[in-house]
Chain A
Amino acid sequence: MRDTTPAVPAQARRTTGGIGESTLRPDGIPKVTGEFAYASDLWHEDMLWGFTLRSPHAHARIRSVDVSGALATPGVHAVMTHDDLPAATRYGLEIQDTPVLADGVVRHHGEPVALVAADHPETARRAAARIVVDYEQLPVVTDEKTATAPGAPVLHPGRTDDHAPHVAHPNIVHRQPVVRGDVAAAKARADVVVTGEYEMGMQDQAFLGPESGLAVPAEDGGVDLFIATQWLHADLRQIAPVLGLPEDKVRMTLSGVGGAFGGREDLSMQAHACLLALRTGRPVKIVYNRFESFFGHVHRHPAKLAYEHGATRDGRLLYMTCRIVLDGGAYASSSPAVVGNAASLSAGPYEIPSVDIEALALYTNNPPCGAMRGFGAVQACFAYEAQMDRLAAALEMDPVEFRRRNAMSQGSVMPTGQVVDAPAPVAELLRRVKAMPLPPERQWESAGGAPDVRALPGGLSNTTHGEGVVRGIGYAVGIKNVGFSEGFDDYSTARVRLEAAGSEVVATVHTAMAEVGQGGVTVHTQIARTELGVARVVLHPADTRVGSAGSTSASRQTYVTGGAVRRACEKAREEVFERGRARFGTYHPAWATAELLLEGGKVVTDGGEVLADLADVLGDEAVEAEVEWRHRPTEPFDPHTGQGFGHVQYSFAAHRAVVEVDTELGLVKVVELACAQDVGKALNPLSVAGQIQGGTTQGLGLAVMEEIVVDPVTAKVRNPSFTDYLIPTILDTPAIPVDILELADTHAPYGLRGVGEAPTLSSTPAVVAAVRQATGLALTRVPVRPEHLTGT
């Protein structure tokens, strides 16, 4: 089901394999044959294996490190600690507070302490176990109370970052208030006031391809790094100072990436592999196993959220107050930006005249948290959607009708004062998701035979044949920003080359975009076909020989790097027309008078008349174009009021969850999780549906399964494995019907809207709302566990 978009530009009218078609992935075939080289598949002659020794404590002083046992192990080529670092000793995305290797103190469980390079991964592992570290354990801070208590250990004394002057305690990374309207006056007028306190556990990205890369030392003293990452140039900016090398001596090439979801925004083993390679003069590969991966990247911020809403008797929201406390863990990572998102999006996709909002992130001794799909908006959505259901219940209204009455639309004003200047079809998405046919009841029953337990909560565990099973239905809708916000210079670079190879013309597109599975490579191919009218498009490997493409995150790549590819193609096209006019202009007056297009390898007029073969216009000389492309600028939020044009674009999705709960055992079966999303323009409908279904499933995991359990006393991670950290299997995941709406955002290339994150927001609260409806329980914490449902 798709709505049609407005007028297609002339250049795009007659393209095969262009935008809007479900063309297939260019990397699909190598990925099904096993030939596609992921970072963990790389091999080099004389290659060594790197291994990282990590802290067993969440907070400790390092009295001494003895590496002699490791160095004496046969097969070991190097051991490195903080004392062996050649240059900068800290790095970070925004704040350089993360030690490359622990410098006298470890601040979280699993912090890297030492590195080993050896000729076999097992040798490296065993040698690392022979490193003797003398730790003196220190008291830990694990939440707001302990982190800001009088005399609490300050994790980063002497902070000089931009946020430090604005926070009340040095263990607060960043705090963002947003105030608008008059909450006190609104509260006096409210007929209904609803409050709630909510909590979200720590979710892991759990991408399947663990952190990995291969660093190869070069003859010029530099290093070549083949790496799975989300942003090559951000890595480069952090790695080069650690190695003490100029950026042009650190050459990075994207290797195959097995998923990311935010977990590859920060450095993991990048600098470590380069350090070992430069130290040993040998290529060094580091591959984390799953256990180490849980310690090797940042997670989604756990959050505590306190909300209050007031509404009139006829169901109009008057005000909202909230306080969102995010646990950033031991290092800053992207916590400041997560705070900005949580604060600015905390009201949800609703019109609320008066707000008083506060969001902050803490430094604690818990695992560091940073980017994960949904980035600050996920936490808020779980809480405000629970509030919407409570308000509807208090007003004895249908929850969808209550949301519809308060839904924002184009022209609505955000709590930040930003006017939403593109379609915001919140009510329509809710209407659509509600209108979808419901799955039949009691699907486990078969004609006359035994029930199919696979369709029941508990599944093949055979825990019920339907007794105690209750159905519930829940709705939720969310709002996510697209692109980097708050004044960030968020640009992408693209280089396009058009050349004739015999009678055929080949377009080569070169960007540094990290393809992490999202299908950016497919979209770039489609854009080039659309804009250049050629069938054959080759994608140059992503590397640092071209300018930055920004991060594959924030739902931004199709918008920003897609925008850059489009602009580079337009520039190349103009160059082709210039050249054509110079060469053939005298043969046909249309060269000067008509609107020219590139179609099917030819220069044609908009009337369809062929003027020349593109190959003839190009001759022996390729046309090349390179652009840096930016979306419209944003501005920072005011530090006191939170006012400002902070976000480039908003995206919206709504979900309806149907669940069946075994109320005796507390087992939940999600029967269906329907989603309606506005994508502006679906450049590749098949990929768009895949993004929506994948994001929806991660939200389901957060609702009922996924949490990194951190011991509240020791701050140690208790479940760093796929045996103990459960992500949805195909049996846990229901049918996910998707309804794609395409209302163009005229500010964006082709009218598109970033797709990847919005479905991750509303999925979680929809599932929990359905479980609440089935059980009548309040359920204020995710993930919902069986004991929350049975009270045992």
Chain B
Amino acid sequence: MRVNFTVNGRPQEADDVWEGESLLYVLRERLGLPGSKNACEQGECGSCTVRLDGVPVCACLVAAGQAEGREVVTVEGLAGRSGAAEGELSVVQRAFVDAGAVQCGFCTPGLLVAADDLLERVPQPSDADIREALSGNLCRCTGYEKILDAVRLAAARTGEAG
């Protein structure tokens, strides 16, 4: 089947999609966007988190056909968002690098999408808010402390800029 949807603001068309393929497979293998990661394929790890019409979802649990006509934002679409210039790292991306929130980095794309969504909804989140919002994203390297630091840093920088 053919699937038409918008990815990171650009219309995309995927051909020869098998009905069983997930949105994640189509993004990674058919559209050349491997930034969203596959680490569990059952919605437990959050590594494939993308925004579907603005809402964070596990792309591994979305059938490709369900994305028809909808808007998807992946990690590749974060740069240039939330006030950053085209191609420039977004505030959240910059904060993850600066705070040491990235080690192996496999969980990072999903966490960035989830954090981006949180800060859009709650610009000055409490620690409990951050933990709740990121609880669907597993990280095995960092012990999450630097990830909390990164989200706090992004919130502070956004607050200063605003």
A interface residue numbers (CB < 8 A to B): 22, 24-25, 27-29, 31-38, 40-41, 43, 120, 122, 205-210, 256-261, 287, 289-290, 452, 454-455, 460, 516-519, 686-687, 689-690, 693-698, 721-723, 727, 729-731, 733, 735-736
Contact = CB atoms under 8 A, between A and B. Distances in A.
18 contacts: A31-B108, A33-B78, A33-B89, A34-B75, A35-B35, A38-B34, A40-B37, A208-B139, A210-B38, A258-B106, A454-B131, A517-B106, A689-B145, A693-B146, A723-B42, A729-B137, A730-B137, A736-B145
A41 B34 contact: yes
A707 to B, nearest CB: 16
Nearest to B104: A517
Contacts of A256: 105
A206 B140 contact: yes
A690 B44 contact: no
A697 B143 contact: yes
Given A25-B102, A38-B106, 5 more contacts: A34-B34, A258-B39, A259-B103, A290-B41, A729-B136
A695 B39 CA distance: 20
B140 A694 contact: yes
B146 A690 contact: yes
A730 B134 contact: yes
A211 to B, nearest CB: 12
Contact of A730 (B29, B103, B147): B147
A256 to B, nearest CB: 8
Nearest to A731: B135
Closest 6 CB pairs of A and B: A34-B35, A517-B104, A258-B106, A693-B143, A31-B105, A697-B143
A258 to B, nearest CB: 3
Interface in B114-155: 128, 130-132, 134-148
B71 interface: no
Given A258-B106, A687-B100, A727-B140, A32 B89 contact: yes
Contacts, number: 183
A258 B37 contact: yes
Contacts of A455: 128
B42 to A, nearest CB: 6
Given A33-B79, A693-B145, A722-B42, A516 B135 contact: no
B156 interface: no
A517 B148 CA distance: 18
A208 B75 contact: no
The bracket for how many chain B residues form the interface is: 35 or more
Contacts of B139: 208, 730
B9 interface: no
A360 B94 CA distance: 49
A548 to B, nearest CB: 22
A27 B100 contact: no
Nearest to A699: B143
B8 to A, nearest CB: 10
A257 B104 contact: yes
A24 B141 CA distance: 16
Contacts of A122: 18, 20
Nearest to A695: B143
B76 A259 contact: no
A722 B104 contact: no
B72 interface: no
Contact of B76 (A34, A687, A696, A723): A34
Contacts of A452: 128
Given A209-B106, A258-B106, A722 B44 contact: yes
Contacts of B132: 454, 460, 731
Interface in B56-110: 74-76, 78-79, 89, 93-94, 96-98, 100, 102-109
Contacts of A690: 100, 103, 141-143, 145-146
B42 A209 contact: no
Which of A25, A31, A209, A730 has the most chain B CB within a 10 Å cutoff?
A730
Contacts of B97: 24-25, 28-29, 32
A195 B117 CA distance: 53
Contacts of A697: 142-144
Contacts of A517: 103-106, 141
A289 B140 contact: no
A414 to B, nearest CB: 30
Contacts of A34: 33-36, 74-76, 109
Nearest to B35: A34
A25 B99 CA distance: 11
B118 to A, nearest CB: 12
Given A33-B75, A290-B39, A694-B142, A259 B106 contact: yes
A31 B102 contact: yes
Contacts of B74: 34
A24 B95 CA distance: 11
B20 to A, nearest CB: 7
A730 B104 contact: no
Nearest to A516: B104
B20, B138, B148 interface centre (most CB from chain A within 10 Å)? B138
With most chain B CB atoms within 10 A of its CB, the pick from A29, A257, A455, A694 is: A694
B105 A27 contact: yes
A209 B39 contact: yes
A205 B104 CA distance: 14
B39 A208 contact: yes
B40 interface: yes
Nearest to A37: B34
A290 B43 CA distance: 11
A122 B138 CA distance: 26
B52 interface: no
B100 A289 contact: no
A54 B138 CA distance: 27
A460 B98 CA distance: 31
Nearest to B29: A43
Interface centre among B94, B112, B144 (most CB of A within 10 A): B144
Contacts of A31: 102, 105, 108
A733 B143 contact: yes
B42 A694 contact: no
Residue from A34, A210, A452 with most neighbouring chain B CB atoms (10 Å): A34
A605 to B, nearest CB: 37
Contacts of B100: 22, 24-25, 686-687, 689-690
B7 interface: no
Contacts of B23: none
Contacts of A723: 42, 44
A120 B18 contact: yes
Contacts of A693: 142-146
B67 to A, nearest CB: 18
B161 to A, nearest CB: 19
Which of B32, B37, B76, B130 has the largest count of A CB atoms less than 10 A from its CB?
A: B37
A687 B139 CA distance: 16
Contacts of A27: 105
Contacts of A696: 143
Contacts of B146: 686, 689-690, 693
B128 to A, nearest CB: 5
A43 B28 CA distance: 10
Contact of A259 (B40, B96, B141): B141
Contact of B144 (A205, A210, A730): A730
A741 to B, nearest CB: 19
A22 B44 CA distance: 33
A207 B75 CA distance: 20
A323 B105 CA distance: 40
B41 A698 contact: no
A462 to B, nearest CB: 13
B97 to A, nearest CB: 4
Contacts of B140: 205-208, 259, 261, 694, 698, 727
Nearest to A25: B102
A36 to B, nearest CB: 6
Contacts of A290: 39-42, 45
A260 B140 CA distance: 10
B40 A28 contact: no
B104 A29 contact: no
Given A34-B34, A38-B106, A517-B104, A694 B98 contact: no
